[in-house]
Structure 1
Protein backbone atom coordinates (compact mmCIF):
# COMPACT_ATOMS: atom_id res chain seq x y z
CA UNK A 1 0.00 0.00 0.00
CA UNK A 2 1.55 3.35 -0.98
CA UNK A 3 2.29 5.88 1.73
CA UNK A 4 0.05 8.95 1.43
CA UNK A 5 1.91 12.11 0.58
CA UNK A 6 2.14 14.88 3.13
CA UNK A 7 0.05 17.96 2.51
CA UNK A 8 1.87 21.18 1.77
CA UNK A 9 3.68 22.53 4.85
CA UNK A 10 1.17 23.68 7.44
CA UNK A 11 0.77 27.34 8.31
CA UNK A 12 2.30 28.52 11.58
CA UNK A 13 -1.04 28.34 13.39
CA UNK A 14 -1.89 24.91 11.98
CA UNK A 15 -0.81 21.44 13.05
CA UNK A 16 -0.43 18.23 11.06
CA UNK A 17 -2.77 15.35 11.85
CA UNK A 18 -2.65 11.75 10.57
CA UNK A 19 -5.50 9.27 10.66
CA UNK A 20 -4.56 6.04 12.46
CA UNK A 21 -7.15 4.14 10.40
CA UNK A 22 -6.56 5.14 6.76
CA UNK A 23 -3.33 7.18 6.90
CA UNK A 24 -4.91 10.40 5.57
CA UNK A 25 -2.98 13.52 6.58
CA UNK A 26 -4.39 17.02 6.97
CA UNK A 27 -3.46 20.41 8.36
CA UNK A 28 -5.84 22.12 10.74
CA UNK A 29 -5.76 25.11 13.08
CA UNK A 30 -8.43 23.49 15.27
CA UNK A 31 -8.32 19.98 16.64
CA UNK A 32 -10.49 17.89 14.29
CA UNK A 33 -12.66 15.34 16.14
CA UNK A 34 -12.27 12.61 13.49
CA UNK A 35 -10.84 11.89 10.04
CA UNK A 36 -12.94 13.54 7.31
CA UNK A 37 -12.28 10.57 5.00
CA UNK A 38 -13.05 7.50 7.12
CA UNK A 39 -14.16 8.97 10.49
CA UNK A 40 -11.17 7.31 12.20
CA UNK A 41 -9.00 8.53 15.08
CA UNK A 42 -6.58 11.38 14.28
CA UNK A 43 -3.09 11.64 15.78
CA UNK A 44 -1.37 15.02 16.08
CA UNK A 45 2.04 14.70 14.36
CA UNK A 46 3.09 18.28 15.16
CA UNK A 47 3.35 17.60 18.88
CA UNK A 48 6.43 15.68 20.03
CA UNK A 49 5.65 12.20 21.24
CA UNK A 50 5.98 11.61 24.99
CA UNK A 51 9.10 9.62 25.85
Structure 2
Protein backbone atom coordinates (compact mmCIF):
# COMPACT_ATOMS: atom_id res chain seq x y z
CA UNK A 1 0.00 0.00 0.00
CA UNK A 2 1.55 3.34 -0.97
CA UNK A 3 2.17 5.86 1.79
CA UNK A 4 1.22 9.50 1.49
CA UNK A 5 4.34 11.69 1.68
CA UNK A 6 4.47 14.34 4.39
CA UNK A 7 4.06 17.90 3.17
CA UNK A 8 7.02 20.23 3.42
CA UNK A 9 7.68 21.24 7.03
CA UNK A 10 4.88 23.44 8.33
CA UNK A 11 5.52 27.09 9.12
CA UNK A 12 5.93 27.97 12.77
CA UNK A 13 2.31 29.18 13.05
CA UNK A 14 0.86 26.14 11.28
CA UNK A 15 -0.23 22.73 12.57
CA UNK A 16 0.19 19.38 10.80
CA UNK A 17 -3.02 17.41 10.35
CA UNK A 18 -3.58 13.85 9.11
CA UNK A 19 -6.91 12.54 7.82
CA UNK A 20 -7.93 9.33 9.60
CA UNK A 21 -10.02 8.31 6.56
CA UNK A 22 -7.79 8.86 3.50
CA UNK A 23 -4.38 9.38 5.16
CA UNK A 24 -3.75 12.77 3.54
CA UNK A 25 -1.54 15.14 5.50
CA UNK A 26 -1.78 18.92 5.32
CA UNK A 27 -0.56 22.04 7.09
CA UNK A 28 -2.90 24.78 8.22
CA UNK A 29 -2.78 27.79 10.51
CA UNK A 30 -6.52 27.34 11.09
CA UNK A 31 -8.07 24.72 13.36
CA UNK A 32 -9.47 22.14 10.95
CA UNK A 33 -12.11 19.57 11.87
CA UNK A 34 -12.68 17.80 8.53
CA UNK A 35 -10.48 16.79 5.60
CA UNK A 36 -11.02 19.09 2.62
CA UNK A 37 -10.62 16.12 0.27
CA UNK A 38 -12.91 13.45 1.73
CA UNK A 39 -14.58 15.19 4.70
CA UNK A 40 -13.02 12.61 7.04
CA UNK A 41 -11.87 13.27 10.61
CA UNK A 42 -8.54 15.07 10.98
CA UNK A 43 -6.01 14.33 13.71
CA UNK A 44 -3.64 17.10 14.79
CA UNK A 45 -0.13 15.59 14.63
CA UNK A 46 1.55 18.76 15.92
CA UNK A 47 0.12 18.34 19.41
CA UNK A 48 2.01 15.93 21.66
CA UNK A 49 0.03 12.82 22.53
CA UNK A 50 -1.12 12.57 26.14
CA UNK A 51 0.86 9.98 28.09
Q: TM-score, normalised by structure 1?
A: 0.95
2:25 is the counterpart of 1:25: yes
RMSD of Structure 2 on Structure 1 (CA): 0.6
Deviant stretches of 4+, over 3 Å: none
Q: Secondary structure at the match of 1:33?
A: coil
Q: Which structure 1 segments of 5+ residues have no match?
A: none
Which runs of 5 or more structure 2 residues have no equivalent in the other structure?
none
